[in-house]
Amino acid sequence: MSEQNNERGEKTQSATSALFARLARERPTRPGEIYGVPGSGDTKVLSVATILILLFIWWLITALGWVKPLFVPSPQSIFIKFLSVWKVGFTGSPLWLHILISTYRVFSAFLLACAIGIPLGLAMGMNPFIRGIFDPPIEFYRPIPPLAYLPLMIIWFGIGETSKILLIFLSVFAPVALGARSGVRSAGIEQIHAAYSFGATRWQVLRHVILPFAMPEILTSMRIGIGFGWTTLVAAEMVAATQGIGYMVLSASQFLQTSVVIMGIVVIAAIAYLFDMLMRLIERKIVPWKGKM
Amino acid sequence: MRLHIENATVIFPAGKGVPPIEALQQINLTMDDRDFVVAIGASGCGKSTLLNLIAGFLAPSEGRIMLDGATVEGPGADRSVVFQQHALLPWLNVRDNIEFGLMLQGHAKEDRSRVADRFIELLGLSGFEHSPVYALSGGMQQRVGIARALTCDPKLLLMDEPLGALDALTREKAQELILHLWHNTGKSIFFITHSVEEALFMGTRLVVMSPRPGRITHEFKLPFSKQFLDGISARTVKASPDFIQIREKVLSIIFSDVEAV
């Protein structure tokens, strides 16, 4: 008996390992492909299918009445809500104004963070003196959640735009500065030496060798930074805001208007996604050589 | 042009768990106009350190490096470097890479174009001026690197294993190209290689270096590049009895160094 059981156990085990082996095996390449490149292949079809299936499941559970609309409103009700808020507005302001205000807050903070963070990061990468001064404060505040220092921002800078933009600014600033700082190390010493052997000044080496080599990393850190910016937006609009998508989501939640909450989330995601696409486009334009040398 | 290296010693200070290393010991070397000096030796013999010293990327711990009577205190446009890995800038096309040195020196666009045209022609890069450098083969990238180094009309060209990354066929072609360039431009060249055949074929003088501490142990005068430039084919030169005899001699010197380590 026990022998038989053992045998069966072994069989199941070998069947499982065979399945794993089949999943882990590299498929033979098709013409034009390179064998063994990890993660190669197009994912568009799969991604679109995933979105459609998720939407379908969402629609199904609401249409069958498995979940109350209070908790999960149907996809179509969200779309209808979007149209009505677009036409009528939410708490007296039309949707485009909410979007505009939030976009203004995020982007002005983002631009400010880039304008200060990138030069400072480069300077930190180039100069141990500047790095020594700015490294501790940035590393100190970087891991703190913006919600934690939001009260301080309000105590210090009031409840106006300043504290909101400053909060978003701080969340974008650290990743952008650190990205620029580590980007400085992307330039090879040979390229730097080549420039110096043509009689380049330190400034020229920074401008013509180090900065271009740092661009891929700077652009990546900008993408990460703006992501943090949108994340922080809702926190920034928690206190004393009367307009903005974050405010819209928060106040809708207080009235249990779940469809507005979800609609707001989707709008934020859509804007962030569009901007990310734009950044990728810029990346391809500015650093087409990325990863090629 | 006169380069004079006087008792140059380089000691790298001790690091974590690493004792101080005497990379170069008491190097004496003089180079004059139209000299083609090739340095060869086992790994770690200080060839690259010596080149970095001449380029000004490194300061000697003792001794001094004089170029035309002035002490070398840093890199400068009178000494151009061709690196082992081309060291080109991927965001610039072939022409802009070649003009890079002139651009840094603030030359006007027309002057830059004129000089670049000449070297694009000379190095057989016509038709590729607008190609991105990362799309080129290794041999062409290295030719762009050589063209770039020549544009600023340096007194001395420093080449750090410039052909090391090329395949054997491209390499032989590149050797001939560099010899013709050297002959036509009249530059002095300091050249590092791992290949004894390449060293003997290219140089007018050969310095053999030994590791730990890095020092010059032998020096040879070489007639072979002249034979080639006088019209004898490269393969014939490299197959001649004289060439083979000295090749074996140099190889035995280097191998005895390797075995000693």
Distance of CA B123 to the CA centre of its chain: 17
Nearest CA to A211 among A125, A284, A131, A132?
A: A125
CA A191, CA A195: separation in Å to the nearest integer? Answer: 6
Shared-domain flag, residues B14 and B139: no
* Position B213 in a domain: yes
| ipTM of this predicted structure | 0.89
Distance of CA B19 to the CA centre of its chain: 30
Tell me chain B's radius of gyration from C-alpha atoms: 19
Shared-domain flag, residues B105 and B83: yes
pLDDT at B89: 94
Shared-domain flag, residues B192 and B256: yes
Residue in B with minimal Cα distance to A194: B81
Instruction: Calculate how close chain A gets to B158, using CA atoms only, in Å.
Output: 10
Count of domains forming chain B: 2
List, for chain A, all residue ranges whose pLDDT scores fall below the cut of 70.
1-13, 15, 19, 22-30, 32, 40, 293
Which SS3 state, helix, strand or coil, does residue B12 take? strand
CA A34, CA A24: separation in Å to the nearest integer? Answer: 17
pLDDT at A1: 44
CA A259, CA A281: separation in Å to the nearest integer? Answer: 33
Could you tell me how many CB contacts below 8 A there are between chain A and chain B?
68
Report the alpha-carbon angle B168-B169-B174, nearest 5: 95
Domain that holds residue A140: 75-286
Cβ-based contacts of B84 with chain A (< 8 Å): 190
Give the nearest partner residue to A293 out of B84, B104, B134, using CB atoms: B134
A212/B76 Cβ within 8 A = no
Which helix (H) or strand (E) segment holds residue B5: the answer is strand B2-12
pLDDT at B251: 92
CA B132, CA A144: separation in Å to the nearest integer? Answer: 44
* Position A105 in a domain: yes
**pTM assigned to the model:** 0.82
Shared-domain flag, residues B29 and B97: no
Does residue A26 contact residue A35 with C-beta atoms inside 8 Å?
Answer: yes
Instruction: Calculate how close chain B gets to A202, using CA atoms only, in Å.
Output: 11
* Position B166 in a domain: no
Give the nearest partner residue to A199 out of B77, B84, B133, using CB atoms: B77
Burial of B147 (0-12, 13-18, 19+ CB in 10 A): buried
Count of domains forming chain A: 1
Does residue A189 contact residue A263 with C-beta atoms inside 8 Å?
Answer: no
A83-116: per-residue pLDDT in tens? 988 888 888 888 999 999 999 999 999 999 999 9
CA A88, CA A42: separation in Å to the nearest integer? Answer: 42
The CATH number that applies at residue A148 is 1.10.3720.10
Domain that holds residue B68: 2-78+185-260
Residue B124 touches chain A, beta carbons under 8 Å? no
Cβ-based contacts of B75 with chain A (< 8 Å): 193, 196-197, 199
DSSP-derived secondary structure letter, A26: P
DSSP-derived secondary structure letter, A244: S
Shared-domain flag, residues B91 and B132: yes
- Beta partners for residue A218, in sequence order: none
List, for chain B, all residue ranges whose pLDDT scores fall below the cut of 50.
none
B134/A194 Cβ within 8 A = no
Q: What is the full DSSP assignment across A27-68? A: PPPPTT--TT-TT-S--HHHHHHHHHHHHHHHHHHHHTTSS-
Which SS3 state, helix, strand or coil, does residue A197 take? helix
Count of beta carbons in the 10 Å neighbourhood of residue A4: 8
pLDDT at A4: 54
Burial of A193 (0-12, 13-18, 19+ CB in 10 A): buried
